[in-house]
């Protein structure tokens, strides 16, 4: 068992997050007879189940680690995970499902690994140590921060504005045709 996860674990966690979010969204759409659920309470209220599954997945893989939801870490434990399932309301208000998940690991208060996924835009960001990578509809690439600062000092903004709107709609259409 590793104390700090490798990239393959972060990708497994990201894939699980994406799968759970997309299945939950599809189930809510089916419950409403195929109608758009973007501004319906079903769209906002289910992420707690996903968050619990992700926390259990991490706890099983790393039993000695502490796992919190999106709350502030004040435990003082050596290895602490923070897990959150989010909804970007700005895009949701425009009719685009924009749910995703984040998970980050700190070691003695310093961030050492993490991932961000947005399954509707097919984006995935992950970092391990000093290296950060991204995967999007445009392929996989090394993620550089402005002025090459360390990732834990940077502010990342994901899926803003019209840039991913077409890719998102195409992704949703392809998911709908698979069901």
pLDDT tens string 122-160:
788 877 766 677 777 777 777 665 555 554 444 444 444
Least confident of 41-50, 114-123, 128-137: 41-50
Q: 82 forms bridges with which residues in the sheet? A: 68, 104
pLDDT computed for residue 54 by the predictor: 93
Q: Would the pTM count as exceeding 0.75?
A: no
pLDDT of residue 41: 53
Expressed in angstroms, the distance from the first to the final Cα of the chain is 38
Q: Put the strands of the sheet holding 66-68 in their side by side order.
A: 66-68, 79-87, 99-107, 110-118, 123-128, 131-136, 139-142
Residue 178 has pLDDT above 50, yes or no: no
State the number of CA atoms in the 13 A half-sphere of 109 facing the CB.
3
d(CA 166, CA 56): 34
CATH class of segment(s) 7-146: alpha beta
Average pLDDT over residues 100-122: 83
Contact 115, 103 (CB under 8 A): yes
Domain ranges across the chain? 7-146
When pLDDT is cut at 50, 70 and 90, the band that residue 13 belongs to is very high
């Amino acid at each position: 068992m590793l104390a700090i996860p490798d990239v393959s674990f972060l990708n497994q966690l990201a894939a699980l997050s994406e799968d759970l979010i997309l299945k939950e969204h599809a189930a809510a759409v089916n419950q409403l007879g195929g109608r758009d659920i973007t501004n319906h309470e079903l769209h906002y209220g289910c992420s707690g189940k996903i968050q619990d599954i992700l926390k259990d997945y991490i706890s099983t893989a790393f039993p000695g680690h502490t796992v919190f939801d999106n709350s502030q870490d004040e435990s003082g434990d050596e290895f602490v995970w923070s897990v959150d399932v989010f909804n970007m309301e700005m895009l949701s208000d425009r009719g685009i499902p924009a749910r995703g998940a984040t998970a980050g690991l700190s070691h003695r208060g310093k961030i050492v690994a993490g991932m961000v996924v947005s399954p509707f835009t097919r984006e995935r960001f992950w970092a391990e140590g000093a290296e950060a990578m991204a995967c999007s509809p445009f392929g996989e690439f090394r993620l550089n921060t402005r002025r090459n600062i360390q990732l834990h000092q940077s502010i990342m903004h994901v899926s803003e504005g019209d840039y991913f709107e077409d890719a998102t709609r195409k992704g949703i259409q392809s998911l709908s045709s698979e069901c």
